Structure 1
Amino acid sequence: MWLRHSRRRAIGAASPTVWGVALILGVAVAYGVILFTLGVEALTRFTYGEGTTQLAQGARGLDPGRTFIVPVIGGILVGTMLWIAVRLGILRDIRCQGVAEVIEARASPPGYLSLRSGAVATVVSATALGCGASAGREGPLVAMGGSIATFFSQRLKIPAKDARTLLGCAAAAAVSAAFNAPIAGVLFALEVVLSNYALSIFGPVTLSSVSALVVTQLHFENTHRFEIPDYVTPGVGALPLGALLGILCGIVAWTFLQSAAKARRTALGLMRRRIPAPFMPMIAGLGMGTIGMFLPEVLGFGYEATSEAIQGSYSLKLLLLLLVAKLFATVLCLSCRFGTGVFSGGIYLGTITGAAFGTVLGAIFPEVAGYGATFFAMIGMGAVSGAIIGAPISTTLIVFEITGDYQMTATLMIAVGIASMIVQVLFGSSWFHYQLNHRGYDLSDGPQGIILKTIRVRDVMRAMPVDAAPLEKGAARLVATETLGEALAQMTDLGLDGMPVVPHEDSDKIIGTLTQIRALKTYNAALIESHIEHHR
């Protein structure tokens, strides 16, 4: 009995199946990341003559007409693929899956993503990025991992709570493989995707992250994208400077989020009134082509420009120009559905901001010029990206794992913390939570609010016989697609203990009934399960 109890405690609430799947999932996601990376590299070399780390150099050597037309053709291809996917029912609308979709799947039962939609999103995102879209890769990679996790969950009939854990495992594996950052991958999954730090979840998530790292390191000697030169690491005297940079980074992150939100609303308005949705990526392609002719450093991920900024190779004028151009380009691509993912853009904007800060500081105060642009560029990298995606802990660790320098810990944490606080006060949420809020998922409500908004009447009603009598005209009713919260509110307002359920608003056919007691029992059971899941 003691041995059996010890085994149960060691495994926790996660079953042995979950541990096994977590290992396999990490390997599968890693190979997905490798294929995605190789695909983007191959397409970038075909379109610009160089890989992603030297895209700007390749674009400079091309005829300006080709630099302009490549993103336009990419936009046409992306728009066409998205339109076909919607027509075939693979995607819900003209939009690729990203991190927000994985969080949505975690928050709403049964916690699944479509494997077909994940595959389409991966191909579409790779096409956009290979044609110069100013977007990131963490979005499509995390979504791809979530789709693979769904495949295993459905095939093995894994319970919903464990399926949610596997979504976190997939996210950790994707970040670990993409950025060579296993610790940050784990914390990204716990902090952003799962919003859960339970010990029983930590084990499988860590296993996926490490297995993904091992696979990528077997195929690539060094997956770090940035060359970090030697730089001076100041002591505690840099803390006030870190705080000042944090304020600046918070303003940059807020400007990005505010601009992206306004651009999203404008794009939706255009799609409703004038421009068919499949044409929107082409509009972004036109913008990227125009910018790329003059500032090729803005195209794609921006790895080359980020590395140059870290090494202090850019003048202040060019840094400011790149900051404005990259912010505009990323907002344009996101709003027009020409790619997804904001993390790479956040890294770019943060690095440029930090490098500009260091350049100005060195010119005004020669005594601190020894710090160089490199130190502040690394601080800015974590501060802006962490504030945008709402993951201060994991982005801090990504910087540590990229640089290998833990001496900057205090300065980096202060900058990230201040930038995140500014975004929270001025914007109210991260980019992912903003996206979910506009789909009806307000995660700030906590588990109780999520339960009321994600469980549908059809999930908890008591079904009626097929030959049930139709409902009288004007009689009170619930619609099967309404949420549990809406159903309870209607019963309370009408003073009813139960209500009949119809399939849609215009129907009088009764397909079931839902009582207030049954609804409350369902809510309480889900709340208890959520509490256990977050504390086991």
Structure 2
Amino acid sequence: MRARAAARAAVMGSRRSWGWLREQWRQGRSPAMWLLGLLTGIVSGYAALGFILAIHGVSLAVFGANHDALASGVDALPGWRIFAGPVIGGLVVAGLLFLGQRYNWLTETRAHAVADVVEARAVRSGRVVLKTGLLSAVISAISLGSGGSAGREGPAVHLGGALASFGAQSLGIPARAVRTLLACGAAAAVAASFNAPIAGALFAFEVVLGHYALRSIAPVAIASVAGAVVSRIHLGATPAFTVPAMGAASAWDLPGVFLLSLAAAGLAIAFVQSSVHAPRLVAQQAEKWRIPLWALPPIGGIGIGLLALPMPEILGVGYEATSNALGGQYAVLFLLGLIVMKLVATGVTLGFRFGGGVFSPALYLGAMLGAAFGAVIGLATGGETAGVPFYAVVGMGAVAGAALGAPLSTTLIVFELTANYEASVAVLVAVSIATVLTQAATGGSIFQKQILRHGYDLSRGQSRVLLQTIRVRDIMAPFEGDAADMDTASGAPSLYDDDYLGRAIGLMSAESLDGAPVRSREGDQPVVGWLSRADAHAAYARALAETHEEEHL
């Protein structure tokens, strides 16, 4: 009897503990979020690891070379094989895009990346569709492994975010906890890709979440460390780039860093504009020539193959070429040629619907610019500078931070790669100047400009987005008038149930109305509700209060 009672008590205690833990998950409270952050970091870290290995596998199959050593690996190949790689990859990507479009696995005819994760956080309560994330990762792995000139971090972030979002939604936790776990997935993916846990966490706060709320710090940090640990267990503790020892900074380097930051801003502006506008311009021409968007990758593959024939260093992610630039192994004219060719190749890759991100190309372009600048200023000063590696690192951070709108996380990536305090301080100065100039010229980061094509302007903060996401049907009062009231309502300026809050407030303010009838767009558009100006402003105030609490507590 005693044993049976003890067993029953143990079962009841276990059920109570499990019930308590589930309630903690549902409420998104700290202890449970720390555990979920750890699990998310491990899963996203392994997802990023699998994605990297998939790129290597495709690269070995297409070029017979490891993707991290693609520049030297394809150097001995015949020209036809270098040219054929991106074309073959484009054919496979086109088939996957067709399937994704036909079976609604993709919301658009393209692979998704960081901008889609940021948009999901801001607009869709952190919801990312898992099948979209998985297919986008496959498309990007084939694109990059076959020579597409883009980055691997963006697709890895989207894959990590998709897995985190799926797990969070399965638990039924609140929307703000879903958004935190989305950031956990992004942090772990960046940390695993660069072997940089501090930068991974800061990237998640700076780019994905857009705030540093206290309740989000621990789970995101835990996830980022977990992602880096996964990477180090399987790939070792070697950083993504090989950075040689740097000389001590001199008096010449202060004006040099300032001049380089101006050049970096110019290159970042060109990179943002080409990456944002290339897909739109190519889509317009495809529509004019009646070419479906899913059929564009093989055409882009021809362009990438032609560009790679004289300069195979532009193929793929470009880590080897970036490391060579950091080591001062390229001549100035060759570096300038690589900048132009990489800029064009990345525009072609993204414009013709290959998969990939923009982080690695930005680092690549910055390293080439900094190395060229360092070589020139070294000659001008008789070698009285910190050297080419110093300026290559500063240029890499300045261009990437300015283009991505992530100055802090980019600076931390540089510090974790170099462990050099002087270089990190120089990067912080350069990236600050370059970011201000780039943002002033472009009106936002590359991710914000990509999201703007869907009508959401994140450069003005979450308060503007709320006006674009709250719908009238969610806050209106049901219409309960009689036939005469309906006739009166039918003659007044009307809203529609799928209108957004911003239009509702704008209409009532412009017409000096205390309220407006709400119509359905179906059938003869009957009146289905009523929205008062007071209710509209109250709904906006509640949403602002909830946003403030999430971003500051």
Deviation at 1:89, TM superposition (A): 1.4
How far, CA to CA, are the matches of 2:203 and 2:152 in structure 1?
A: 15
Match of 2:365 among 338, 342, 349: 349
Does residue 347 of structure 2 align to residue 331 of structure 1?
yes
TM-score by length of 2: 0.90
Whether the 8 Å contact between 2:505 and 2:536 is mirrored in structure 1 is yes
Label 1:139 to 1:468 Cα distance change in 2 as closer, same or farther (>3 A): farther
Q: Give the Cα–Cα distance (whole angstroms) in 1 for the partners of residues 213 and 398 of structure 2.
A: 26
Task: Assess, with a 3 A threshold, how the Cα gap between structure 1 residues 426 and 149 changes in structure 2: closer, same or farther.
Answer: same
Task: Quickly say closer, same or farther: Cα 1:507–1:140, change in 2 above 3 A.
Answer: farther
> 2:323, 2:253 → 1: CA distance?
23
Task: Return the alpha-carbon distance in structure 2 between the equivalents of residues 345 and 468 of structure 1.
Answer: 63
Whether 1:524 aligns to 2:541 is yes
Moved more, 31-40 or 400-409: 400-409
Asked if 2 retains the 8 angstrom alpha-carbon contact of 1:239 and 1:410, the reply is: no
CA contact (8 A) 1:470 1:510 kept: no
Aligned residue in 1 for 2:405: 390
Whole-angstrom distance in 1 between the partners of 2:76 and 2:520 = 61
Q: Which residue of 1 aligns with 2:552?
A: 535
Instruction: Please tell me the residue identity of whatever aligns with 1:533.
Output: E
Deviation at 1:512, TM superposition (A): 4.1
- Give 1:483's match in structure 2, choosing from 500, 519, 536: 500
Offset, 1:506: 6.6
- Does the alignment pair 1:292 with 2:308? yes
Task: Spell out, residue by residue over 1:327-370, the C-alpha distance to the aligned partner (whole angstroms, 9 max, x if none).
Answer: 1101111122212311100010000001101111122221326x
1:112 aligns with 2:116: no
In structure 2, relative to structure 1, the CA distance for the partners of 1:270 and 1:234 (3 Å cut) is same
> Is the alpha carbon distance of 1:105 and 1:469 closer, same or farther for their aligned partners in structure 2, counting shifts above 3 Å?
farther
How many angstroms does 1:500 deviate by?
A: 3.8
Q: Which amino acid aligns with 2:546?
A: E
- Relative to structure 1, the CA distance from residue 230 to residue 445 in structure 2 (aligned partners, 3 Å threshold; closer, same or farther) is closer
CA distance in 2, matches of 1:363, 1:21: 54
8 Å Cα contact 1:108/1:455 also seen in 2:
no
Find 1:199's aligned residue among 214, 220, 223. Answer: 214
Counterpart residue type for residue 484 of structure 1: L
Bigger Rg, structure 1 or 2: 2
Aligned residues of 1:109 and 1:455 also touching (Cα < 8 A): no
Give the counterpart of 1:302 among 287, 310, 318. 318
Structure 2 CA distance for aligned equivalents of residues 401 and 296 of structure 1 = 29
Which residue does the alignment assign to 1:155?
Answer: 170
CA–CA separation in structure 2 for the residues paired with 1:469 and 1:37:
67
CA distance in 2, matches of 1:405, 1:440: 42
Q: Is the 8 A contact 1:178 1:223 kept in 2?
A: no
Residue 40, structure 1, aligned to residue 55, structure 2 = yes
Q: Structure 1 residues 299-308 or 510-519, which shifts more?
A: 510-519
Aligned to 2:227: 212
Distance 1:237 1:468 in 2: 82
Count of paired positions: 523
> For residues 19 and 407 of structure 1, what CA distance do their matches in structure 2 show?
35
Aligned-partner residue type, residue 340 of structure 1:
G
How does 1:405-420 map onto structure 2 within 5 Å?
405-420=420-435
Whole-angstrom CA distance in 1 between matches of 2:485 and 2:418: 68
For 1:74 and 1:345, how far apart are their aligned partners in 2?
A: 19
User: What pairs with 1:352-371 in structure 2 (closer than 5 Å)?
Assistant: 352-368=368-384, 371=386
Q: 2:505 aligned with 1:515, yes or no?
A: no
Going from structure 1 to structure 2, the CA distance change for 1:460 and 1:290 (only over 3 Å counts) comes to same
Structure 2 CA distance, aligned partners of 1:529 and 1:486?
21
Per the alignment, residue 443 of structure 2 pairs with: 428
- Residue 335 of structure 2 aligns with an amino acid whose one-letter code is L
- Matched to 1:144, the amino acid is L
Which residue pairs with 1:259 in the alignment?
274
Which amino acid letter does the alignment assign opposite residue 67 of structure 2?
A: T
Deviation at 1:505, TM superposition (A): 7.1
In the alignment, which of 11, 23, 38 is matched to residue 38 of structure 2? 23
Report the equivalent of 1:9: none
CA distance 1:201–1:291, change in 2 (3 Å): same
Instruction: Report Cα offsets for 1:121-144 as digits up to 9, x if no partner.
Output: 111111101110001111111111
For 1:159-174, what aligned pairs fall within 5 Å after superposition?
159-174=174-189
Once the two structures are TM-superposed, the CA of residue 387 in structure 1 deviates from its matched residue by 0.7
How far off is 1:31 after superposition?
A: 0.4
Q: Structure 1-normalised TM-score?
A: 0.93
1:318 matches 2:337: no
**Within-5 A mapping of 1:179-190:** 179-190=194-205
The letter for the 2-side match of 1:515 is S
Residues 13, 200 of structure 1: 8 Å contact kept: no
Residue in 1 that maps onto 2:148:
133
Distance 1:511 1:141, change over 3 A: farther
The CA distance in 2 between the partners of 1:205 and 1:462, in whole Å, is 40
Q: CA deviation at 1:264?
A: 3.2
Q: 1:169 to 1:235 in 2, by over 3 A?
A: farther
Distance 1:480 1:122, change over 3 A: farther
Question: Secondary structure of 2:245's match?
Answer: coil
Contact 1:21 1:152 in 2 (8 A): no
Higher mean C-alpha deviation, range 181-190 or range 228-237? 228-237
In structure 2, list runs of 5 or more residues that go unmatched: 1-26
2:23 aligned residue: none
Structure 1 residue matching 2:518: 3-state secondary structure: strand
By how many angstroms is 1:189 displaced? 0.9
Among 253, 258, 263, the residue aligned to 1:248: 263
Is contact 1:96–1:340 with CA below 8 Å preserved after alignment?
Answer: yes
CA contact (8 A) 1:242 1:411 kept: yes
The alpha-carbon deviation at position 192 of structure 1 amounts to 0.8
Stretch deviating more after TM superposition (225-234 or 512-521): 512-521
CA RMSD, 1 decimal: 2.2
Looking at structure 1, the residues matched to 159 and 364 of structure 2 have their Cα atoms a distance apart, in angstroms, of: 23
**CA-CA distance at 1:94 after TM superposition:** 0.8
Counting aligned pairs with the same residue, the percent is 43
Contact 2:28/2:173 (CA < 8 Å) preserved in 1? no
Mapped contact 2:193–2:240 kept (Cα < 8 A): no
Write the letter of the residue equivalent to 2:413. I
Most deviating of 411-420 and 390-399: 411-420
Q: Once structures 1 and 2 are overlaid, which stretch shifts more, 447-456 or 36-45?
A: 447-456
SS of match in other structure, 2:309: helix
Check the 8 A contact 2:471/2:501 in 1, yes or no. Answer: yes
Of 395, 400, 403, 1:380 maps to: 395
SS in 1 for 2:531: strand
Structure 1 residues 279-288 or 380-389, which shifts more?
279-288
Q: Which residue of 2 aligns with 1:64?
A: 79
Deviations 1:262-317 (A, max 9, x none): 42331131133223211222222111111112211000011111111111111112
Letter in 2 for 1:336: F
Deviations 1:159-204, CA, capped at 9 Å, x for gaps? 0111111111111111111111111111111111111011111111
